[in-house]
Structures are given as structure tokens and as C-alpha cells.
Structure 1
């Protein structure tokens, strides 16, 4: 088994943009909120044997801090506030918040603490698990091999889109969490920047800084999950989450995630004020064509010109799916595409891990994610899940 005598994660900014965006909102709005998050394997959990290597890497993260150059970089964005950045400069990972165990070959991770601190653990831990696993199973894979395969995909992409107007195509790297490795992700994004005019940014702040790309990201499911217990009324938790985000960011970062409770329930809460205020919405589960058609119908029903809004697709995309969706919707509404695993871990004979870390409690009480794909539904408390379904008038089948 491959051992490491160096840290894989070498900067606080090697994370997804939405983590830092959410962290700032939590810092100002919910300083004392306490959460619990857990690792979820959507496929076979065969990761337990890597627990000691993972723990070593997590322990190395304790010394990470924002450098002066990184601080100046973050300060260049108008939506980051100085009070938050000053706090972030002094932030250190608290390794006592993370419990890692190997139960009969299965990896179990539980993270507990203040939300403003716990929020930064998810992405680096997932990327560590992915890199440790893949480098042990596929030690022969190098960035050069990944680039060679990328070149083949790009050649096929350009051939298949001959004659198609791609002037409105916008693609973003969303591949940090399940990348094969940091070196592979960096090499792939660097090559795309050099040869692929449709790449407009990356969700990774560190890679964006180094490669001079735009960092892209808004909020994740945990923002809506936590509000299920922060809100005094569960029925209005989704609306509260959307409104608090607007108060924090005004005209910035205004793409809303739609599927924490389902797209239909989201649209019921996404009233005229919110629909006008947000630049657009993000797809992360369910049929993307049905989702987009619902969004178009929603905007038109409210008298909003869809051409002024954006749909960001980000669920299990590859180049073929992107072109299909682009052809269907680019003339009706602005479209963007966040491609993750199928970009940074799409290598022959490599099977990406299907792992996530989700909130399971907020302030000692259960939270849930329902989503528009049954396989992504999760909650540790069946009674709370049932209550959530009832509150939002959704059919409940009793499964986890």
C-alpha cells in the first residue's frame, strides 16, 4: 500500500468555491450553529483499509493556513468581506473534529463541531480518499496518461460539433471532490485552458488562482439542510435559506441549488421576488431535460424572460451530455455546465468513487436531503424524513 511522507492537501484554497462562499455566510449569520456530517458511500464501501493513511493526511492539515498572497487574492473579490477574511487568515483545521474508523473494511467518518469550521472539511477529505484509493489501485496512471485521454475526448468533441454554433457554450471544472489526484486535476484544467475556449472557470480556488481562471460556485445542499433546523418553521426553511443568501451576497453568487427537497417543492418557494433576484438555478439530480423544462415554464408563468436567466447543469455530466443539453436549451435560456468526475477522474480502467459527505444533524436535530434521484436521498431519522415529506406535500415510501 502506497505511503505518503508529504501532505496531499497543501493549501486551504484547494477546495470548492461554494465551501468558502457558504463559510462566509455562516460566519456572519450562524456563528454558533453546531453540526454533524458523515461520509456516505453510494457504492460498495471498500475503503476501510485506507483509514490510517487518511488519518495521517488529515493530521497534516492541522498546519495549513492562508498565505499572505492567498489573502490578497481573496481580498480582490468584491463579495468577500474583510472581517471574514481576517478570521479565515487565522483559521486552522481542528483535527479533533474528525473521527475516522475502519469497521470490517468499511470506512466511517463523522465530523462534529461549529458549522463555520466543519464546513471546510468535506472537500479535502473526499479528494484525499479518492487520491489515496486510486493511486493504490492504479499506480501506473500519471498526469500525462490523463492528458492523452483528454486529448482524444477533445478531438471527438470538436469533430462531433462541427457546424454547431458553440458561441454560447460555457463549461466549468467541478472536479475537485472525486478527482484521481491533484496533479491530474491541475494538468487537465491547464490543458483545457490552453486548448478549449469554452472553459470559463473552476470551482477550485487554488487552481483558479494559479491558472488565472474565474472561481465559480454558490451554495450546496448543506445550506438548505441546516436551515431545516435553523428555521422556526420547517415549511419556510427553504425560503429562509434563499433569502438569507441574498442578504449576504446581494447581486453576487446568485445561482440557487434546487433539489435539496425536490425541484417541485423548490419552485413552489421560488416566488416572483426570488426568481427575479437570483441569476438562475442549478441542476444536481433527476432528469435534466424535465428539470429544465420545468424551469422554463416557471419563469414564463411569472412573466420573466428566460433569456435573462441561467440554468447551470452539474449532475454527472460528460461532454456528450453537455452537447445534448446545449443543443436543446441554448436558444431558450442561458446555459452553463459544471463537469466534475467525468473530467478529473475519467481515465481508462479507472472506476471513480461515488462518495459524499453530508450533514446529518444541525443543533443536535436531524436534517435530510431528498433530491430528485432516489439514490441520493438521505436522512438518519425516519420520523424527521416523514415529517419533511408531509410538510412539503411529497409522497413518502418509508425508505432511507
Structure 2
């Protein structure tokens, strides 16, 4: 794909250049989770809220409100097309045909995203999405992608076309050099997890095609459903923190709260099997999750490491499988938090042959413009921007995380959850993106 990214970024003569052009421009795990939510919890009222953890970047002073509203309103006009529905119905995902049920796809075709709430407070946008869980949960990826891209566009707008050409040339060369080193080291299991924090859609597309070209079969696929459809690439993804966060918030007793993280998995395995049985243990701490997990969880395909030190998390997982009488060499460990080249190489050296390896490469795969700016500015450096469940049926929703720098929720509720779940294995790690 010989696309002139610099000219495309420089020449915007149309009324609106949509950042999200399809409902499939989202992560695959959102559709998998949405089907389970639609089946079991469709009408649970929830609220998602945008959270900028890079507080020194005052987004409301960078992004014009009218531009943000125009992009959000455009997403509200989108609907699943017939071609997209047919592709979802007929394609094979994770080796399985018919993952998406006909009734679910018929409902999805009628879905239009509901209204949003937007205000400005202390230089930041407060953006909230409230309504039935099944109707609002897709907003998460679109919201983060839109705000992140508008911030990037503001930085790009200061550059001439030649300066943009220099910027993109440097960024593309940097990624190609990373891919070269991964190929030379024989690393496998690489996947694109960059959708929400990409530079923009076109650069993510270029990055995915570059990885496919340079890595071949060592590149497993992309989390972005639209790119998977367009280029015939495997769509990658399983589940995320919002599932246990909602079920835990709905619980009425301490016992129900502690067991909610396993009830979620039980519902998941009723709907999905095989390679989709990958669990995420760190919503309230990986150590407590593993210690109290029912034995059947050890039969799952593997786990995803998010916020814990990845080397500690990998060793902990291997010890856990061994203690449960399973062979770790048959299990998948999917590393996915703030990875870049050196992290992937080091993890591959540490764990190759001891377990099956996967690497969900996010922000620094398709949004690494650090040091590439021709004017030596840092206004294109990645943000740590998230959109999390903050309320469930009028109750606060909480995420603790293995990283004590990343909890979400009111402080009083975070304290209560920590008393309930403990803090075993939790530690501070700098937030990269």
C-alpha cells in the first residue's frame, strides 16, 4: 500500500474527515464481549467515563469542542452494513465458524450509539456515556480513538507538508527497524493491539501491513476488526476488565463480589471455547485471582498479562499451572501492557519454550513518533487515555489493577475493594500509555 501519509494529513479540504468510518473500526474483543452482554446483561444501566491519565496534557485547550462533537456525532450516525454483517456471520474466527449468533447480528444491525455528555473541567474534557450496557459499551474504543487522534491532528496541523513527510518517514523507518529485529530474533506471536491509541487509522493500517509483510506467519493478526475484514487478516481479541467490574458492582455481598470474577468466566465459556478461553486475572489483582480460582480455570487456553511486571506475571502463571497439575508448555501467556521492541525481545528470551507466547503490541506499534518530530517537539508523544466503566446501576465501579498507579473509582470504594481483595502482588509501575 503506497499511501502518501504526509499529503493525506496535510490536505483536508472536506467538511469533516471522519476518524471512525465504520462500527467495525473497533477491537475484536468488544464484539465478543458485546454478544455475551447482549445475551445475559443487555439492560444493566452503566456509565463509561473518559479518563486522561496524562494530566499535564490539557486536552480541552488543544482540541476544539466543535471538532470533538462533530466526530462523536458522526459515530452516532454509523450502522453495521449488510456487507459487514455477512462477513461477521460467515467468517471463521479463532478456527470456529459461526461465532456470532444470527439473532445477535440482527440486533447489532439495528444498533445506533446513544447520546453522550460532554463538559470541560480544569482544561480536560469530561466525556460520559450512560445507558443500557449493550447499547453504550462500544463507545469506549471510539471515544479514546477520537480524542487521541484529534490531539495528534492538532500537532500535525503545525507542520508543513515537507515536515510531515520527514515525520512519517522517520516513524515508518523506526517501525521497520523494530520489525527487522523481531524477525532476526525469530520472535513469533506478534499481534497489533493499537487501535485506541494509534497515530491515526491510516498509520495503523500501514503498520499492520508492514508487520504482515516483514514478519509473515510470526504476525498473528490485528485487534482492529475493520482492518481484519479489509485485508483478510486474523481478528485478535478475547475479553477485558469491564466484565468483572460490572458483575462485581452488581453483587450484594462480599462473597458474591469475590466470586463475580469467576462467574464472568463461567458465562464466557458457555458461549466460547478453544482459543478464546484466555482470561485476564488482574482486575482486582492477579495473585488473589489465581489463588482462589476454581480448578477448571486452569484448563483454559491461557491468560493475558496486563498491568503486572511481565516477568513476575509470567513466572507466577507458570508456577500456578504447575501447582494445578497442568503443563505450562501447553498454555498461552499473552503479554499486552505498554510493550515495545526491547520488552518483547527480553520476554521472548525469558519464556520461549516454557510456555506458548503471544505479544499484544499496542501504543508503540502504531503511535511511536517519539523523537521523529522535525521541530523537536513532544506534542505527538503518546497519551495515557482510557474510557472505563465508572457506574453500574447507580453504584460505583472499581478496578484495582496489579499496578497501584492505575486504580479507577472513588477513593472510598477503592479502599473498600482493597480490604476485600487484598493487595498481594500489587506494586507501582510507571504508566507509559
- Determine if the TM-score, normalized by the shorter chain, exceeds 0.5: yes
Matched, 1:174 2:193: yes
Which of 8, 12, 34 matches 2:23? 12
Correspondence for 1:134: 152
Which of 304, 329, 336 matches 2:358? 336
Give the distance between the partners of 2:19 and 2:181, measured in 1 at CA.
37
**Other structure's SS at 2:129 match:** strand
Correspondence for 2:46: 35
Change (3 A) 1:143 1:186: farther
Give the distance between the partners of 1:215 and 1:21, measured in 2 at CA.
11
1:279-303 Cα shifts (integer Å, max 9, x gaps) = 1100110210000000000000011
Correspondence for 2:5: none
1:345-365 Cα shifts (integer Å, max 9, x gaps) = 101243011100111111111
Which of 105, 116, 119 matches 2:137? 119
1:167-210 Cα shifts (integer Å, max 9, x gaps) = xx111100010111111111211222222222110000001111
1:211-251 Cα shifts (integer Å, max 9, x gaps) = 11111111111111001123451121111111111112133
Matched, 1:47 2:76: no
Matched, 1:365 2:365: no
The answer to whether the 8 Å contact 1:79/1:252 transfers is: no
**Other structure's SS at 2:276 match:** coil
The answer to whether the 8 Å contact 1:146/1:188 transfers is: no
Give the distance between the partners of 1:222 and 1:160, measured in 2 at CA.
32
Backbone CA RMSD of aligned residues: 2.3
Correspondence for 2:4: none
| Matched positions, count | 390
Correspondence for 2:384: 354
The answer to whether the 8 Å contact 2:183/2:215 transfers is: no
Give the distance between the partners of 2:350 and 2:132, measured in 1 at CA.
43
Given the two structures, how large is their TM-score scaled by the length of structure 2? 0.85
In terms of mean alpha carbon deviation, does 82-91 or 243-252 score higher?
A: 243-252
- The alpha carbon displacement at 1:41 in A equals 1.2
Change (3 A) 1:4 1:175: farther
The answer to whether the 8 Å contact 2:407/2:414 transfers is: no
- The alpha carbon displacement at 1:143 in A equals 8.3
Unaligned runs of 5+ in 1: none
Correspondence for 1:275: 298
- The alpha carbon displacement at 1:131 in A equals 0.9
